[in-house]
Structure 1
């Protein structure tokens, strides 16, 4: 490439070397003692985020809501729920983040609203309502022989039970569609008035100063309307999805600066799909959240049908996305979030080797090509909740599934074991700030139980742990991404794809090569690669053990990053 050709190449997007931190507000920090995290609590811990070095904070929903699904059921898109604070407090939080160089991303939930949103209240008031077609309504179907159900089709809600319900206020007897809880009716994106209202709302938030959106189940907005009385589940990735997203880009993002970020959560998306959604010339999204790697330990039954995860399958999945989006598109990198179990409990060893496995998992995630997402508490190695009774759970999905399966005659102990591993509440216990009462989260009674291991696993203790501080290790990882073009943009190559315990890959670019070699297991692992070729003379850039071991042996859950 000539100098002139190089000068014509577009500069990499700013988010290629950025790191995003997700806050689940009700569980982050409580400033007023009511037991629920709030905006004031986030403001109190902005120094924590700045010290970590993150570039973006993504807030799970803080809009006004009846809280049937912890805020993902929105009744007013332009107000803050009193549980979390006020618009004035939000403006203060936004300003203080910007002063620290941190961008703020809102959660955009526009596949559905709350059934208490004025749009739905009006829609359900009469079949002749001007907003009737803002939601998806259909007549029931009389099935023969009668099975006791008359819903328009056999679609199931993600939170158990049918995906169709009748509204008490509706005199027609029609059913409305809700792919999630009955209190979360789906918007009808085929109606241009709905799209206009959504785009207006998005612009309102961007005008207020927010820096982008994480879009909840955004591929569900494109439903195949002709199939709404059939039995196949054509409620996602309809052919109009690209039209909707390109229209959104034109109406909301096109006239604004390039400092925004857009990420779409897309269950069921493939690599080929993601290449279309995130290709720079497509003008749709910057990146997507895909679910392939977090479905590998899901059995053939439900989400709660857990099966063992083979490392070779995880490597193959993540590598396929690295390769598939290498030339066009971009990856979002995550192992955990508010909907997934704690990553160190799921993919690592949350007992004896909690520190080592937490830092190993962070390394193999952050040193791949894409934008890494840190979920609150990962930076200190927080673990699954350790709940043992159903009354300890708060998640609507977990509670509904337990009740439905119990009614079907399953053993409650078996159900609780499945929840202990998979429930979304594993990620929703309060952030553990101190070893004191309620982990320093609240002076009141927490809305959900604090993990009993908070006396040893907490921010205060971890940050004082010297070379065994997970927080400090995360800080070094994030700094490495900021400083090294190799980490941000280097080519990815997976090594030893079939090895059952070694996770190794290289990153290659004009600045040289990096090797990441990780022992994903509790026994010593001989790795001749570490002393062969250029790596034998390479320098150790980062590692999660503070003392030298045999050059060709990785100790339990050890990871090394070498520069050739």
Structure 2
């Protein structure tokens, strides 16, 4: 079976994901906004790095009130990125380098400028969206928005007011709320069919799958999300029959629910069910950058002060893996377009190697957010842009700044005037860039490349091999595949403890030694050893 013909259940086991925020990756035409041709021009960087799967944030037609997560046409790309033909060319160029491309599918809502919605706002019989027209608007549940068209009443948004929720029905009826249609009503069934048509269209031109935005949000008032699970299982059955090589990843933030629901994988995210949101934040979040005021402050394990613990993450990871078994994958991101980068607040560049040593040797599917491989930082103090601000301390723009390719104007991202860029560059004159780190064999970029090479060449370090945690403090010590010892010490203070072996042969190590029955780890040290 050729590599491209492998079913998604197989090839995802070897995937190293790389998330591209297309507006900010590479601008080919000098308008200040990244595009498909720009991404294509930088594919050699990804191939050299060892990435084999790319996920693009939404690139469908949109008024961009939420950076493209407000879709106005699922069957056309946004002109800012190029044409449909440019996307096809990008996919083919990626495939020639052994890289698959996934699109972001916004399944639960559209833009209020989508023709489906404008038609629905004019037709009281239309069921594609959730409409209510009570005698007393004060009795409506919170969140409903007044109709912008001749249709009387109010619609339910899914996120911002400009993102009306597509109607996939309600799991529970309520006589007091007659707008609660069942999941098998005409409108909800039409929307299910539309999802198939959208996925089929893009998969048929060579895409390798989708990451599904807000995947848990479709069926409303759904205790235990049972009806939403049924919906995705049905779509997964269709996908397996028609496009078995295509992957379906979810933004659910709860792999123990979403993988049994039919997704091939799900991400540990900063939000979601309380335990799963804490799982990611307990690793990386130092309460800087993107901060939800409702989050309970905690010291991340990857903090130089050494005040955190890996136990929160480990307990949740064990629970998740026990539940999903070999039916799918949990994905671990370095960051994403909604969450602070690794290099954020007090976390300095010297702390990042240990974080990547863990990230790329742990048995989750790794997802690298663009620029994290060189240590791009979260940029504070930016204005709200395309809906980036979600709260007083939660501005996503700081994680969406232009990719830093070299030390030329605009860091090589664009030839546009600096004031014409999608977002400002990191103003730090010492900001990292790809060209400088490519020339430095001791850089973070080269380390990430070596770690990816190790992961892909040694199955013992991949997503399927056994994992035994030997020490869950500082340092974190674990064995992969029975024959690779990994030691990670993300605090500044050195650490020493008993080793499970008398000697281990270093494969890739800095500041860690194993011998004479002891493990000695310098501050911020890491090591991978054969035992």
Which residue in the other structure is 2:4 paired with? none
Change over 3 Å in CA distance of 1:29–1:397 after alignment to 2: closer
Which residue in the other structure is 2:250 paired with? 264
State yes or no: 1:504 paired with 2:477: yes
C-alpha contact (below 8 Å) 1:220/1:237 kept by paired residues: no
TM-score by length of 1: 0.79
Residue number among 140, 159, 164 corresponding to 1:180 in the alignment: 159
Which residue in the other structure is 1:309 paired with? 299
C-alpha separation between the residues in 2 aligned to 1:366 and 1:315?
Answer: 19
Q: What is the SS of the residue equivalent to 2:75? A: strand
C-alpha separation between the residues in 2 aligned to 1:176 and 1:250?
Answer: 31
19-28 or 331-340, which moves further after superposition?
A: 331-340
C-alpha separation between the residues in 1 aligned to 2:405 and 2:519?
Answer: 38
Which residue in the other structure is 1:136 paired with? 130
Measure how far apart 1:397 and its partner are.
4.6
Q: How many equivalent residue pairs?
A: 480
Which residue in the other structure is 1:124 paired with? 121
Superposed counterparts of 1:318-467, under 5 Å: 318-322=314-318, 324-326=320-322, 327-328=325-326, 329-345=328-344, 350-351=347-348, 354=349, 356-387=350-381, 392-394=383-385, 396-398=387-389, 401-402=391-392, 418-419=393-394, 423-444=395-416, 445-453=420-428, 455-467=430-442
Change over 3 Å in CA distance of 1:455–1:272 after alignment to 2: closer
C-alpha separation between the residues in 2 aligned to 1:92 and 1:242?
Answer: 35
Measure how far apart 1:179 and its partner are.
2.4
C-alpha separation between the residues in 2 aligned to 1:11 and 1:65?
Answer: 29
Measure how far apart 1:345 and its partner are.
2.0
Which residue in the other structure is 1:6 paired with? none
C-alpha separation between the residues in 2 aligned to 1:151 and 1:38?
Answer: 46
C-alpha separation between the residues in 2 aligned to 1:210 and 1:45?
Answer: 18
Change over 3 Å in CA distance of 1:217–1:552 after alignment to 2: same
State yes or no: 1:558 paired with 2:525: yes
CA deviation map 1:252-280 (0-9, x unaligned): 332333x322111104x2x6424523xxx
Q: What is the SS of the residue equivalent to 1:325? A: helix
C-alpha separation between the residues in 1 aligned to 2:333 and 2:135?
Answer: 42
Q: What is the SS of the residue equivalent to 2:104? A: strand
Residue number among 40, 58, 63 corresponding to 1:61 in the alignment: 58
Change over 3 Å in CA distance of 1:345–1:432 after alignment to 2: same
C-alpha separation between the residues in 2 aligned to 1:553 and 1:63?
Answer: 51
C-alpha contact (below 8 Å) 2:144/2:155 kept by paired residues: yes
State yes or no: 1:484 paired with 2:452: no
Task: Name segments (4+ residues, structure 1) moved above 6 Å.
Answer: 546-551
Which has the larger share of helix? 1
Measure how far apart 1:454 and its partner are.
5.6
C-alpha separation between the residues in 2 aligned to 1:310 and 1:46?
Answer: 33
State yes or no: 1:520 paired with 2:509: no
Change over 3 Å in CA distance of 1:548–1:41 after alignment to 2: farther
Residue number among 131, 138, 151 corresponding to 1:150 in the alignment: 138
CA deviation map 1:128-186 (0-9, x unaligned): 3xxx21111123584xxxxxx837213xxxxxxxx3211221331x2111121111111
Measure how far apart 1:528 and its partner are.
2.1
Structure 2 unmatched runs, 5+: 1-6, 169-182, 270-275, 302-307
Which has the larger share of strand? 2
Structure 1 unmatched runs, 5+: 1-9, 143-148, 155-162, 225-233, 278-283, 403-417
Change over 3 Å in CA distance of 1:183–1:151 after alignment to 2: farther
C-alpha separation between the residues in 1 aligned to 2:191 and 2:424?
Answer: 39
C-alpha contact (below 8 Å) 1:502/1:520 kept by paired residues: yes
Change over 3 Å in CA distance of 1:533–1:308 after alignment to 2: closer
C-alpha separation between the residues in 1 aligned to 2:496 and 2:190?
Answer: 60
Measure how far apart 1:298 and its partner are.
9.5
State yes or no: 1:287 paired with 2:278: no
C-alpha contact (below 8 Å) 1:496/1:503 kept by paired residues: yes
C-alpha separation between the residues in 1 aligned to 2:156 and 2:529?
Answer: 53
TM-score by length of 2: 0.84
